[in-house]
Amino acid sequence: MQIKKASFLRGAVGPSQYPDDGFPEIALVGRSNVGKSSLINRLINRKNLARTSAQPGKTQQLNYYAIQSDIAPFYLVDCPGYGYARVSRTEKEKWQAFIEKYLANRVPLVLVLQVIDIRHEPSKDDIAMFNWLMDQDLPVAVVATKADKVPKGKWQAHTSKIMRALDSPKKPLIFSAESGIGLDQLKDLIEELVEP
């Protein structure tokens, strides 16, 4: 798959702002600072279309990126990062309800990319999100990012740990926004799902 064009559509704060053209949507979830924006920028080959978080945890909107590829048009939807310590519990619960409502009800949603840092054990929030996605029967691919920060010989051990913590038999996709590791695999995965 080749990305022809990518643009920021809007930060949607509710369903009335979601697009109505029915193009497939791929959502990204992950804790704040895990590297979702960097993944988007690498995928669309732009340095700074998705703003890497100056203010982690502050985006309470679904950031819609409109993508034109040689296969089909689709949207990347960056969900607010979770697990940011410096917001109140009520605030957290509000965001969570907002994200969950979108994920559980959004018809054009074809894939959720759950982005996890390859270096660390999944957090409680990561595990809770993964379990919730499984309970909803949503199609999920776990992306283990920042792979450039771990020597290649240790990738396997790290991904096994992630699989064990999530209790998932599926191997995470090993990725790095820095080096481009896993980019082709990620594109192949997206291509399969957005094909008309």
Nearest to 79 by CA among 40, 117, 49: 40
**Where are the alpha helices (H) located in the chain, listed in sequence order?**
36-43, 89-105, 124-135, 155-166, 183-194
Complex with ligand GDP: residue 109 or 177, whichever CB lies closer: 177
What minimum distance in Å lies between the beta carbon of 113 and ligand GDP? Answer: 11
Closer residue to ligand GDP (CB): 81 or 122 = 81
Residue placing its CB nearer to ligand GDP in the complex, 25 or 117: 117
CB atoms within 10 A of CB 158: 21
Among residues 82 and 102, whose Cβ is nearest to ligand GDP?
82
Q: Which residue has the tokens 């988007």?
A: 40
Shortest Cβ 89–ligand GDP spacing (Å):
20
Closest distance of CB 90 from ligand GDP, Å? 22
Q: Compute the least distance from the CB of residue 46 to ligand GDP, in Å.
A: 13
Residues in contact with 12: Cβ distance below 8 Å, sequence separation at least 6, in sequence order: 18, 61, 62, 63, 64
In terms of CB distance, is 146 or 158 closer to ligand GDP? 146
Please report, as ranges, the residues that interact with ligand GDP according to CB under 6 A: 30, 32-38, 52-53, 56, 81, 145-146, 148-149, 176-178
Residue nearest to ligand GDP (CB): 35
Lookup: tokens for 26 = 């791929």
Angle at 177 between CA 160 and CA 129, to 5 degrees: 50
Residue with Cβ nearer ligand GDP (1 or 43): 43
Closest approach of ligand GDP to the CB of residue 170, in Å: 21
Closest CA relative to residue 190, chosen from 144, 139, 148: 139
User: Smallest distance from the beta carbon of 80 to ligand GDP, in angstroms?
Assistant: 10
CA distance 196 to 64: 20
